[in-house]
Amino acid sequence: MCGIVGYIGNREAYPILMKGLQRLEYRGYDSAGVAMINAAGAMNVFKKKGKVSDLADFAKGQDITGNIGIGHTRWATHGEPNDVNSHPHYSQSGDLVMIHNGIIENYAAIKEGLTKRGHTFQSQTDTEVLIHLIEDIKKSENMKTGHAVLVALNQIIGAYALVVLDKNDPNTLIAAKKGSPMVIGIGEDEFFIASDASPIVEYTKNVVYLNDEQVAIIRRGEEVKLRTIKDKEIPLYVQELEMELEAIEKGGYEHFMLKEIYEQPRSVKDSMRGRLNAEKGIVQLGGIVDHIAKFKNAKRIIIIACGTSWHAGLVAEYLFEEYARIPVEVEYASEFRYRNPIIYPDDIVIAISQSGETADTLAAIELAKSKGATIIGVCNVVGSSIPRASHAGSYTHAGPEIGVASTKAFTAQVVVLTLMALQVAKEKGTMAESKFRQLLYELESIPTKIEDVLKQNDLIKHIADIYKNAENALYLGRGFTFPVALEGALKLKEISYIHAEGYPAAEMKHGPIALIDEAMPVFVIATKGPNYEKVVSNIQEVKARKGKIIAVVTSGDKDVKGMADHVIEIPETDESLVPLIAVVPLQLLSYHVAVMRGCNVDQPRNLAKSVTVE
Ligand code: M6R
């Protein structure tokens, strides 16, 4: 939630900030703003409700010069999205400005104290309160800005990634982080700051990831200085960025979401690379090797995640129970953290997250950790907070996912969780060698099978055109494909704003069947497997009530073809691997419906890519 970017060096800051904000726009897009100090020492701030492009229009023809500056793209928490609430925010004198990602929980009490001391506030934001506090400390304690930032951060409760710019010190940027991500890029006589590496990768591959409660003082011509908020010096650990520029560009596709759907044959392969060798009968996730005994002895696995990652967790429940015979509970991280869950020290907790920054998942990890459970992270963003908070884990190698709707991250998560379940099954001896081998070969063939599904894009687009004006939709699946039904429904609702629900097919008759009439499209995953006949009966129940059936079936299926309004054929595979293939046509379908309805596919309303607030 919210993207922040900063620059100090010899180039003009504004173009770098604006390009960075465009790359970070997936993190929040209700307003944007920049601040630069020009050669004469004047600080110019421009901020605007709307997209980064609205900010660019607004700033046209104004003084946007200067080789130091900060920029922000917002996802509103405190205060509605408008020009005043946009970042950067000013201190009382106007000499300091700040951009901030996160929430200051005790801002109201601080604001009250500052108001009594004569401060007046322009916005409704918590951010403005913090920059006022910093200036108040700076003035009353006669401190440098950097030191005042340290002192202020000891007084606040909450999460932050922030950058402060001081009009009277045009050679310094001050950055700090707790709970929200922040990366510093180190170039030749120049420095970059950003919420993730995407605004930095084009300029330098040398980066420093800030840890929680660390403050960076970035001065022109000097080495970056790191301190904790308790004023303890920290050595600088410079890492090499692995990201490539092409990975964060659209590469000829109209939208990131479409590009990411089409990347799945590659991202699935990348997530298996070096971990799976069917010929030799090997599955090995290096990240869990040291914990395999714990898996073997675990009486239970708890999976925590949110949204699409939670759906991947549901698939994993079926996988671990089927392959490794370990009971699994799949929990919404937000629910888990706020009840009083029973957690045993021999529990394995698998935390799944694309971004690695989801606030609820992080908090659930901390809770489980405090009870002694072993935390295994399955994340996509390297170096993000969740892998760092986990005892061990495996990255998904899907590459950067920019579209807010998660697509390739889901399939990569399911791949890694499948490998994990197979590795544990092998270790526990819960699966026959022949079945194990067969599954490894099947897994290796999944990228090609996804390619086959992608070839049906025209048919899927045609179906999307027929149902684009639907007001409701139902998605049904059974067994391994129930989570796919949930994911299909989530994809449709989040980007096209059509109300959609996912259900276990057999549950339909316990309520949702009342909704079915000729206007209701029902998407059914009816692939061959042990539940096939039962799902066919469910399809008949829908048809008897004049519902429209769009069925995802196994190649060559004849029975469902005879009764469905439309069928999308997918290649045959083992029942447990069907989610990896069956989800793809549903992703494409949602994409086309959303485009046809004129929706902003990559940046759906009210959403943000990483949800770093609870
Ligand atoms: O980064 P995470 O995987 O932890 O994010 C969890 C959810 O916010 C995310 O999956 C969300 O549901 C997506 N927009 C779904 O497409």
Q: Which atom of ligand 1 is nearest to the CA of 379?
A: 3
Residues 349 and 406 in one domain: yes
pLDDT in tens, 210-249: 999 999 999 999 999 999 999 999 999 999 988 788 878 8
Ligand 1 in contact with 384 (CB < 6 A)? no
DSSP string for residues in 525-552: EE-SSTTHHHHHHHHHHHHHTT-EEEEE
Residues of the chain with pLDDT > 90: what percent?
87
pLDDT band, residue 383 (cuts 50/70/90): confident
Looking at the structure, tell me whether residues 448 and 464 fall in a common domain.
no
Count of the separate structural domains present in the chain: 3
Q: What is the pLDDT of residues 529-562, one digit of tens each?
A: 999 999 999 999 999 999 999 999 999 999 999 9
Q: What is the number of the ligand 1 atom nearest to the C-alpha of 381?
A: 1
**pLDDT band with cut points at 50, 70 and 90 for residue 127:** very high
Give the pLDDT confidence score for residue 159 in this predicted structure: 87
- Report which ligand 1 atom has the smallest distance to the Cα of 404: 14
Looking at every residue in the chain, the average pLDDT score rounds to: 94
Q: Do residues 445 and 465 share a domain? A: no
Together in a domain, 26 and 134 = yes
308 shares its domain with 425:
yes
pLDDT tens-digit map of 420-448: 999 999 999 999 999 999 999 999 999 99
What whole-number distance in Å separates Cα of residue 424 and Cα of residue 293? 9
What is the Å distance from ligand 1's center to 222 Cα?
Answer: 39
> Which residue puts its alpha carbon closest to atom 11 of ligand 1?
307
Task: Please say if 609 is a catalytic residue.
Answer: yes
SS3 at position 586: helix
Q: Chain centroid to CA 510: how far? A: 34
Domain annotation covers residue 595: yes
CATH number of the domain that residue 117 is part of: 3.60.20.10
Q: Residue 19: inside a domain, yes or no?
A: yes
SS3 254: coil
Q: Is 355 in the pocket of ligand 1 (CB under 6 A)?
A: yes
From 365, 611, 612, 614, give the residue whose CB has the most ligand 1 atoms within 8 Å, as the site to mutate. 611
- Residue 142 tokens read as 């006669």
* Number of other CB atoms surrounding residue 599 within 10 Å: 18
Q: Which of 454, 483, 506 is the last residue of a domain?
A: 454
For residue 58, being part of any structural domain is answered with yes
Same domain, 424 and 461: no
Tell me the mean pLDDT in the region 137-143: 96
Does 405 sit in the ligand 1 pocket, CB within 6 Å? yes
Q: Yes or no: say if 578 and 529 are a contact pair by the CB < 8 Å rule.
A: yes
The confidence score (pLDDT) of residue 281 equals 94
Number of H helices, E strands in the chain: 19, 27
Average pLDDT for 351-372: 94
**pLDDT tens-digit map of 10-45:** 999 999 999 999 999 888 888 999 999 999 999 999
Which tens digits make up the pLDDT trace of 500-520?
A: 999 999 998 898 888 999 999
What is the average pLDDT across 119-146? 96
Beta-strand pair 172-178/214-219: antiparallel
- Residue 196 CA to ligand 1 center (angstroms) comes to 17
Residue where a domain stops, chosen among 180, 214, 247: 247
Residues 342 and 463 placed together within one structural domain of the fold: no
Asked if residue 109 lies in contact with residue 42, where contact means CB atoms within 8 angstroms, the answer is: no
E strands within 478-606? 499-504, 521-526, 548-554, 566-570
- Find the 309 Cα to ligand 1 centroid distance in Å: 6
Cis ω for the linkage preceding 345 (within 30 of 0): no
Q: How far is the CA of 408 from the centre of ligand 1 (A)?
A: 12
Percent of the chain with pLDDT strictly greater than 70: 100
Total residues belonging to the chain:
614
Q: Bigger pLDDT: 76 or 303?
A: 303
**Confidence bin at 250 (pLDDT 50/70/90):** confident
How confident is the model over 117-132, as a mean pLDDT? Answer: 96
Q: 424 and 281, same structural domain?
A: yes
Please report the pLDDT score of residue 7 as a whole number.
Answer: 98
- Ligand 1 site, residue 306, Cβ cutoff 6 A: yes
Does residue 2 carry a catalytic annotation? Answer: yes
611 ligand 1 Cβ < 6 A:
yes
295 and 338 in a single domain? The answer is yes
Taking the CA of residue 305 as reference, the ligand 1 atom at the shortest distance is 4
User: What pLDDT does 248 receive?
Assistant: 82
Residue, of 267 and 25, whose pLDDT is higher: 267
The predicted structure's pLDDT at residue 597: 98
How much is the average pLDDT of 395-422?
96
Task: Report the C-alpha gap between 166 and 56 in whole angstroms.
Answer: 23
**148 and 39 both lie in a single domain:** yes
Domain assignment of residue 509, given as a range: 456-602
Same domain for 296 and 196? no
**Taking Cα atoms as reference points, which of 302, 297, 392 lies closest to residue 346?**
297
| Dist CA 85 CA 126 (whole Å) | 10
pLDDT of residue 255: 95
Instruction: Name the pairing type of β-strands 548-554 and 521-526.
Output: parallel
pLDDT of 160 > 90? The answer is yes
CA-308 nearest atom, ligand 1: 10
pLDDT of 78 above 80: no
Q: How far is the CA of 307 from the centre of ligand 1 (A)?
A: 5
Ligand 1 pocket, 361 CB below 6 A?
A: yes
Q: Is 196 in the pocket of ligand 1 (CB under 6 A)?
A: no
pLDDT tens track for 187-200: 999 999 999 899 99
Residue 607 lies in a domain: no
What is the pLDDT at residue 26? Answer: 81
Find out whether the beta carbon of 334 lies less than 6 Å from any atom of ligand 1: no
**Alpha carbon of 308 to those of 159, 185, 450, 486: distances in Å?**
24, 31, 19, 9
Does 160 reside within a domain? yes
Q: Tell me, what's the pLDDT at 607?
A: 87
Same domain, 512 and 494: yes
239-240 and 183-186 strand pairing: unpaired
Residue type, 512: P
From ligand 1's centre to the CA of 499, what distance in Å? 18
**Within-domain flag for 609:** no
In the structure encoding, which two tokens stand for residue 34, read together?
Answer: 């920049």
CATH code, domain carrying 359: 3.40.50.10490
Considering the candidates 51, 138, 426, 609, report the single residue annotated as catalytic: 609
Q: Do the Cβ atoms of 489 and 500 come closer than 8 Å?
A: yes
Q: How far is the CA of 375 from the centre of ligand 1 (A)?
A: 19
Domain termination site, one of 247, 267, 296: 247
Residue 570 has pLDDT above 80, yes or no: yes
In which band, very low, low, confident or very high, does the pLDDT at 606 lie, cut at 50, 70 and 90?
confident
Q: Are 602 and 494 in contact (CB under 8 A)?
A: no
Give the mutation target among 406, 486, 492 for probing the ligand 1 site: most ligand atoms within 8 A of CB: 406
The token pair at 371 is: 């009870």
Classify strands 68-74 and 89-90 as parallel, antiparallel or unpaired: unpaired
Tell me the Cα Rg of the chain.
26
Integer angstrom CA distances of residue 50 from 3, 54, 81, 187, 410: 14, 6, 8, 31, 29
> Does a structural domain hold residue 579?
yes
Q: Is residue 614 part of a domain?
A: no
Q: Indicate whether 612 pLDDT > 80.
A: no
Alpha carbon nearest to ligand 1 atom 4, residue: 353
